[in-house]
Structure 1
Amino acid sequence: MPSDAVLYQAAALCLTYPDDDFRARLPLLREAAPQLREFVDHAALTPPQALAAHYVQVFDFKNRHSLYLSWWHDGDTRRRGMSLVRFKDLYRAHGLEFTGEELPDFLPAVLEFTARTGNLDLLSEYRAALDQLRSRLADFGTPYATVLDAVCATLPPAPAEARR
Structure 2
Amino acid sequence: MDRTLKAISLLLSYPTRELQGAMPEIGGVLASDSRLTAAARRGLRPLVDSLRDDDIYDLEEKYVMLFDRSRTLSLNLFEHVHGESRDRGGAMVSLIETYRDGGFEPNTTELPDHLPVLLEFLSTRPFAEVQDTLADAAHIFSALCERLARRESQYAAVFAALLQLAGVEADRDTVAKLLEQPEVDPNDLEALDAVWEESEVLFGPDPNAGCPQVRDMLSRMDEPQNPAPGSTGVAAE
Looking at structure 2, the residues matched to 158 and 77 of structure 1 have their Cα atoms a distance apart, in angstroms, of 24
Q: 1:142 aligns with which of 120, 129, 153?
A: 153
Q: 2:133 aligns with which of 116, 119, 122?
A: 122
One-letter identity of the residue aligned with 2:169? P
Shift of 1:157: 2.2
What TM-score does the superposition give when structure 2 sets the normalisation length?
A: 0.63
Q: Give the alignment of 1:13-32 within 5 angstroms.
A: 13-32=10-29
Shift of 1:159: 4.4
Task: Give the aligned CA root-mean-square deviation in angstroms.
Answer: 1.8
Q: 2:94 aligns with which of 86, 92, 95?
A: 86
Looking at structure 2, the residues matched to 91 and 25 of structure 1 have their Cα atoms a distance apart, in angstroms, of 26
SS in 1 for 2:124: helix
Q: Give the alignment of 1:1-164 within 5 angstroms.
A: 5-34=2-31, 35=41, 36-118=44-126, 119-120=129-130, 121-155=132-166, 156-159=168-171, 162-163=174-175, 164=177
Give the number of the structure whose residues are more often helix, by fraction: 1
What TM-score does the superposition give when structure 1 sets the normalisation length?
A: 0.89
Looking at structure 2, the residues matched to 117 and 55 of structure 1 have their Cα atoms a distance apart, in angstroms, of 28
Looking at structure 2, the residues matched to 76 and 151 of structure 1 have their Cα atoms a distance apart, in angstroms, of 26
| 2:21–2:52 contact (8 Å) kept in structure 1 | no
Shift of 1:104: 0.7
Deviation sequence 1:108-135 (CA, Å, 0-9, x none): 0111111111332432222211111111
| 2:145–2:160 contact (8 Å) kept in structure 1 | yes
State how many pairs are aligned. Answer: 161
CA gap 1:33/1:27 in 2 versus in 1, 3 angstroms? same
